[in-house]
Structure 1
Amino acid sequence: MSRQYRIRHITTYTYSDRVTSSYGRGFLAPREFDGQRCVEKSVEVQPAPTDQSYGVDVFGNEDVYFHVTSDHDKLIVTADSLVEVDEPSPRDLRLGAAEAWETARPLAPGEYTASGARASAVEFVLDLDTPEVTDGVVAYADASFPAGRPLREAIVDLTHRIFTDFTYQSGSTTVSTKVADVLEARSGVCQDFARLAIACLRAKGLAARYVSGYLATEPPPGKERMIGVDATHAWAAVWTGASGWLAFDPTNDQLVDERYTTVAWGRDYADVPPLRGVIYTEAEESSISVSVDVAPVDFPAS
């Protein structure tokens, strides 16, 4: 079975003075891979850009670039897409269930080279610059990864511990907040919890990637959906070996299923921000507002 979602992601920048030129780059189109298909996609920029183009980054994510040269005090970027997501298959439900977590390391202790799928996973084991795998992260990870524990069981445990030990607090962090600070404060948002989980996995020699996208939120029973209340979301995925990647969401204490739409993945948030840019202006103040709506679409599923 599959589900379809109509997704609209609107980002509005407002400036206190005119902007003479804006350059922007972002990741706004859902990925294509086994289990997810992007049926329609578009990105509209207002004012109309002089140049707008699309490309693919080193991780296979589609990015959009635009350059607005007309004077403006407001910039609106609207991304629309129609995406189809499959329910987890029986194979997906078995990922990492039988093998000890140690066997999922792309490089065994003392090993320095790898080939094939292992070689492509090795990059996701490497720590960031500045390092995020601190003594505190190592200690936190240890509790979920006793020797010989099945990888899936360890991931479910780590996901639950982060969900239980940390408080979701909007505005408590920024995109530059370090994992060590999140670990100390015991609070953050979805990006922070994904990054903490990734650091824990890398501390154990496992390959982990940061995933950005959307989560369809269902209304309470008897209530209508509200427009614009959904937000961009972030979660993590661990390499299980030849069978592929197992995605999980520490913010919601669950493994990823058909409610999740994947836009992009990389080693960290900095690889796949929804939007990033440069402006030329004398404006002293600016503001940003983001509205995301993920609407389920009824269709004959097979």
Structure 2
Amino acid sequence: MSARYVVTHRTTYSYDEDVTDSLGIAHLVPRSLPWQEVGSATVTVDPAPGDLAHDTDHYGNTATYFQVTRGHRRLEITASSEVAVTAPSYDEAALGAPWEQARPLVVPRVPGAWRATDFALGSDQVERTAEAHAYAAQSLRPGRAVGEAARDLMHRIHADFEYDQKATTVTSTVPEILAKRAGVCQDFAHLTIACLRSHGLAARYVSGYLSTDPPPGKERVVGADASHAWVAVWAPAPDGASDGEWLALDPTNDQPANDRYVTVAWGRDYGDVTPVKGVIFTEAKRSTLRVSVDVAPVTPSS
């Protein structure tokens, strides 16, 4: 049985002077996947853009492009979607392979390895540092199954690092995260990826949403949810019949991704899948940004 959600993501920019031209790229439309069905998805921009189009990027994500040329001091991008999610299932034989055999740059002739190669390389926000390599070595013991090793790394990061929204910024680096031993979901995803890639494994950054449950006796607060990030590590198919498996793990919450996770986009790091980014032309000196996300479960009708 699948869980169904209505997801609303609203981003609002405000400026103290007119913006004469605003160009943006957004990753806000959930992916259609074997475990995720997208019933509907819309992205609207206010003021109305002169140009708005959807395209598919290099990693198969839906990218939305827009340009607003009317003068404005407020810009609002709203994405709404209806999604049904089931918990992903995996080929345990693939996850049982020794991690040394799951390195696409070392064993490139394994079926599907070429698709994973890009995710084994360093990227702008994920440095393959000596410190990350050393931290991961405790989990990546010789001959250990790739699935078991990745899960162990997830457990350790959850235990060793504190969730602290004030400890880091959106531009924090892997060395800074390791030094502070604290961060948020983006940081823990980047750190996990750095640890895995430093040993030659392929890992990708996954952006999406996590449906949260209110405390006992409390009602849901609309808009209280937020964008979330987790990781997926690649394992080759043992029989070569497929491109392999991508095990999705959430180090922030110390659990595999399940039917509470709505996948929007994936890439090498946060920079590939930023929810909204762009360029503006303005004389404004001050601006504010507000983001509201709501992941509302849909109760099946009787």
Shorter-chain TM-score category? over 0.9
1:221 to 216, 222, 227: 216
Paired position in structure 1 for 2:52: 52
| 1:19-53 per-position Cα deviation (integer Å, ceiling 9, x unaligned) | 11100111000001111111010011000111101
Paired position in structure 2 for 1:24: 24
Query: Per the alignment, in what secondary structure is the counterpart of residue 112 of structure 2?
Result: helix
Q: How does 1:273-288 map to 2 (within 5 A)?
A: 273-288=274-289
Q: Distance in 1 between matches of 2:189 and 2:125?
A: 17
Aligned-pair identity in percent equals: 51
Q: Distance in 2 between matches of 1:134 and 1:247?
A: 23
Q: Distance in 2 between matches of 1:30 and 1:228?
A: 18
Once the two structures are overlaid, the 10-residue window that deviates more, 145-154 or 262-271, is 145-154
Paired position in structure 2 for 1:237: 232
Paired position in structure 2 for 1:11: 11
| 1:149-188 per-position Cα deviation (integer Å, ceiling 9, x unaligned) | 1222111211111111111111332222111110111111
* Contact 2:4–2:297 (CA under 8 A) maintained in structure 1: yes
Distance 1:129 1:74, change over 3 A: closer
Once the two structures are overlaid, the 10-residue window that deviates more, 97-106 or 51-60, is 97-106
Q: How does 1:59-78 map to 2 (within 5 A)?
A: 59-78=59-78
Q: Distance in 1 between matches of 2:126 and 2:68?
A: 36
Q: Distance in 2 between matches of 1:202 and 1:152?
A: 15
1:248 correspondence with 2:246: no
Q: Distance in 2 between matches of 1:95 and 1:187?
A: 34
Deviation at 1:124, TM superposition (A): 0.8
Paired position in structure 1 for 2:80: 80
Once the two structures are overlaid, the 10-residue window that deviates more, 241-250 or 55-64, is 241-250
* Contact 1:96–1:150 (CA under 8 A) maintained in structure 2: no
Q: How does 1:101-140 map to 2 (within 5 A)?
A: 101-108=99-106, 113-114=108-109, 116-129=111-124, 132-140=127-135
Query: Per the alignment, in what secondary structure is the counterpart of residue 298 of structure 1?
Result: coil
Q: TM-score, normalised by structure 2?
A: 0.94
Q: Distance in 1 between matches of 2:88 and 2:231?
A: 16
Distance 1:287 1:59, change over 3 A: same
Q: Distance in 2 between matches of 1:119 and 1:154?
A: 22
Q: TM-score, normalised by structure 1?
A: 0.94
Paired position in structure 1 for 2:290: 289
Q: Distance in 1 between matches of 2:137 and 2:127?
A: 16
* Contact 1:99–1:150 (CA under 8 A) maintained in structure 2: yes
Q: Distance in 1 between matches of 2:70 and 2:39?
A: 32
**What is the aligned-residue RMSD (CA, Å)?**
1.7
Deviation at 1:146, TM superposition (A): 0.5
- Runs of at least 5 residues in structure 1 that lack an aligned partner in the other structure: none
* Contact 1:198–1:208 (CA under 8 A) maintained in structure 2: yes
1:173 to 168, 173, 183: 168
| 1:63-115 per-position Cα deviation (integer Å, ceiling 9, x unaligned) | 101101111111011000001111233xx27365422222211133xx6x547
Query: Per the alignment, in what secondary structure is the counterpart of residue 248 of structure 1?
Result: strand
* Contact 2:125–2:271 (CA under 8 A) maintained in structure 1: no
* Contact 2:189–2:231 (CA under 8 A) maintained in structure 1: yes
